Amino acid sequence: MVLKILRRRKYELAVPDISLLNPVLMNAQLNPVTLALTNPLLDESTIRNSAMTVIVTEARAIEALQRRVNGSFLHACQLMFECQGRVVVIGIGKSGHIARKIAATLASTGTPAFFVHPAEASHGDLGMITQKDVVLSLSNSGETDELLTILPLIKRQNVPLIAMTGNEFSSLAKLADVHLDVSVSEEACPLGLAPTASTTAALVMGDALAIALLEARGFTSEDFARSHPAGTLGRRLLVRISDIMHSGTQVPVVDQHASLTSALVEMTRTGLGMTAVTNDTGELLGVFTDGDLRRAVDDDDIDLRDTPVVRLMTSNPKTITADKLAVEAAQVMEAHKIHALLVVNEENRVVGALNIHDLLRARVV
């Protein structure tokens, strides 16, 4: 297929005869792609200096925020912490994009929040804001018309207003109950026009609010996972052994009197690469795995037909309980270089089993 595309587009190959059975060789024979700049209008040194200037400028803007974690910041945290409704984050333009991200971060870290577009608020969405809410308004200039239009209506409802601006003397700052200063000495844009350092400062201040509230609430990784059930993190923090283990007749078990042959039959029936070995009261004595089988086959002194499995099993095997997280099973397997685990209860009786394939299917590894 690659050759057909190359020929159709009339690409030249360094070597005309390329083996389709060796993709490594085929890739090596294609003309390499150079990483050097070829456009005469692009100067490598200028590009690097420009990028470094942006990074340094925005780093300085972030550093300046440390001095602004003051009484106003604490007051804003208190208003948001004690909010009985939602934190409503509003902004327009680039500030609107930052406001959306701050609302998303707050919502996923334990502070219920959502974004409202100020223009839409003027056409009905203002009804989404209730007296139990707190409004966090973003505007670098503090003079955004769309915001100033709706703020008197918000204030009329006695809704607490937190303003995040770059101008403490702006109309928005004066109307607010709390003003958070996110001013910057300069934008990273050489024209001084595109919001760059200012939006970074606002984003970082929003993150500071969210994480301060997260810690104040005692928000845990399990709480975070509950709002991210479809993500990798959610699976790692929500899926438990009981959710993915084999149970009932699918658990390979033989008693201590069983022969090696019986153990092999049980292993084959369940396909987990092992079988539990229990005593007469059902308590776990050990495990017999395919690794134990390979070692037995290599031992000429062992009769595979009549040798009792208890003689070849691994005593005191690694186990796990059903209430543990699936990711903990993965950690045990990795630490001890094993591929399967037996699940036991508090009485050391086998209630389940799982192997690495079960963890892969559950996508926790």
Nearest 5°: the CA angle 267, 272, 275 is 45
Task: Look at the block and give the residue holding tokens 């970082």.
Answer: 204
The answer to whether 13 touches 3, Cβ cutoff 8 Å, is: no
End-to-end CA distance of the chain: 33
Cα 260 from Cα 273, distance rounded (Å)? 14
Q: Which two tokens stand for residue 205?
A: 């201040």
Cα 260 from Cα 242, distance rounded (Å)? 29
Query: Along the 365 residues of the chain, how does pLDDT read in single tens digits?
Result: 433 433 444 444 344 444 444 544 445 554 555 566 788 778 888 999 999 999 999 999 999 999 999 999 999 999 999 999 999 999 999 999 999 999 999 998 999 999 999 999 988 899 999 999 999 999 999 999 999 999 989 989 999 999 999 999 999 999 999 999 999 999 999 998 899 999 999 999 999 999 999 999 998 877 777 776 666 666 677 788 999 999 999 999 999 999 888 999 999 999 999 999 999 888 999 999 988 888 888 877 777 777 889 888 999 999 999 999 888 999 999 999 999 999 999 999 999 999 999 999 888 87
Phi–psi pair at 300, nearest 5 degrees:
-70, -20
Q: Which two tokens stand for residue 364?
A: 């926790």
pTM, two decimals, is: 0.66
Nearest residue to 276 via CA among 237, 246, 232: 246
The alpha carbon of 156 is separated from its chain's Cα centroid by a whole number of angstroms, namely 40
* DSSP symbols for 276-324: EEE-TTSBEEEEEEHHHHHHHHT-TT--TTTSBHHHHSEES--EE-TTS
Cα 29 from Cα 122, distance rounded (Å)? 62
User: 162-195 burial, b for 16+ CB within 10 Å, e for fewer?
Assistant: bbbbbbeebbbbebbbbbbbbbbeebbeeeeeeb
The pLDDT value recorded for residue 229 is 64
Phi–psi pair at 184, nearest 5 degrees:
-125, 150
* DSSP symbols for 218-235: T--HHHHHHT-TTSHHHH
The answer to whether 187 touches 198, Cβ cutoff 8 Å, is: yes
The pLDDT value recorded for residue 303 is 75
The pLDDT value recorded for residue 93 is 95
3-state SS, 264-280, equals HHHHHHHCCCEEEEECC
CA distances from 258 to 205, 262, 264, 307 (A): 67, 6, 10, 9
| Domains in the chain, CATH or no CATH each | 71-219 (3.40.50.10490), 241-361 (3.10.580.10)
The pLDDT value recorded for residue 32 is 52
The pLDDT value recorded for residue 261 is 87
